[in-house]
């Protein structure tokens, strides 16, 4: 049943995303086509710059689309009339949340791939080859400095990115879930919960800054010296700490959403 649910989630996302991806690739192709008429004229410059701006907007919209769709899907499918049907399925709340977040993250990855493909299309030809050459050169230069640490940094960074994607989506789910505890204006309540969370994170950030400011300078000097002497391993540590933090936050958000759906579900 979970597989079928997952398939339906993907089908929902793809119904909208395929169209958005198609538009993005079309805009990229159009932008590249405009470059065929390259010349020194005001009209060409205006059209060319406009095509670049339109392309950037298209990419931004495309990258935001899976998140927006994921939030809408989560709310509509579980907390509106559709929820009555969803919760009659032989699927636990845990599986509902899990399938939805995995589907969204998968679509985010797919959208990223399509965006990179559109960039390749937009620059296809000489420019794309030069971009690849520049990227290869930079990787070579960075590898000369970092050595074998580079490969591990890349893996750690991708893993961190994935965990952050999960964590961020689960945060939105938690805001929606907490919002539905209110009897009226649940969407507004969800937005309010998000801003409340943001405010709290800013307060914690300020507290942390104060702690940093009042810590004696000698402590920071010692920490600085340690980092400089062990810079490569400290970067691994940085990725590790933030990965654990993101994973922890994701688990917490998941647990909150799961608990509320299991015990305090209040459909419209």
Q: Give the footprint of another protein on this chain (CB under 8 A).
A: 29, 32-33, 35-36, 38, 121, 124-128, 130-131, 133-134, 136-138
Using an 8 Å Cβ cutoff, are 169 and 253 in contact?
Answer: no
The nearest distance, CB 235 to another protein, in angstroms, is 23
The nearest distance, CB 32 to another protein, in angstroms, is 6
Q: Which is nearer to another protein, 56 or 188 (CB)?
A: 56
Q: Which is nearer to another protein, 1 or 36 (CB)?
A: 36
Q: Which is nearer to another protein, 38 or 221 (CB)?
A: 38
Q: Which is nearer to another protein, 40 or 218 (CB)?
A: 40
The nearest distance, CB 51 to another protein, in angstroms, is 14
3-state secondary structure 185-249: CHHHHHHHHHHHHHHHHHHHHHHHHHHHHHCCHHHHHHHHHHHHHCHHHHHHHHHHHHHHHHHHH
Q: Which is nearer to another protein, 140 or 263 (CB)?
A: 140
CA distance 207 to 108: 34
The nearest distance, CB 35 to another protein, in angstroms, is 7
The nearest distance, CB 142 to another protein, in angstroms, is 13
- Cβ of 31: how many Cβ atoms within 10 Å? 23
């Amino acid at each position: 049943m979970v597989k079928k649910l997952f398939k339906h989630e993907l089908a929902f996302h793809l119904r909208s995303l395929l169209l958005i991806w198609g538009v993005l690739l079309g805009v990229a192709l159009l932008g590249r086509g405009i470059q065929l008429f390259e010349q020194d004229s005001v009209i060409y410059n205006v059209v060319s710059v406009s095509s670049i701006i339109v392309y950037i907007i298209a990419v931004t919209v495309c990258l935001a689309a899976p998140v927006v769709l994921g939030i809408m899907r989560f709310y509509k499918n579980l907390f509106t009339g559709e929820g009555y049907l969803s919760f009659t399925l032989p699927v636990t709340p845990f599986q509902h949340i899990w399938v939805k977040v995995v589907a969204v993250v998968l679509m985010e990855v797919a959208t990223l791939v399509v965006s990179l493909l559109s960039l390749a299309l937009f620059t296809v030809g000489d420019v794309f080859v030069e971009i690849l050459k520049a990227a290869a050169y930079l990787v070579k230069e960075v590898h000369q400095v970092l050595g074998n640490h580079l490969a591990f940094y890349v893996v750690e960074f991708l893993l961190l990115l994935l965990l952050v994607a999960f964590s961020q989506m689960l945060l939105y789910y938690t805001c929606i879930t907490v919002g539905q505890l209110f009897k009226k204006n649940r969407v507004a309540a969800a937005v309010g919960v998000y801003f409340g969370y943001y405010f709290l994170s800013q307060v914690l950030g300020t507290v942390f800054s104060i702690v940093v400011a009042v810590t004696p300078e000698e402590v920071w000097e010692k920490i600085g010296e340690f980092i400089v002497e062990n810079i490569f391993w400290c970067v691994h540590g940085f990725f590790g700490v933030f990965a654990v933090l993101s994973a922890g936050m994701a688990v917490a958000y998941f647990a909150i959403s799961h608990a509320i759906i299991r015990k305090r579900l209040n459909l419209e």
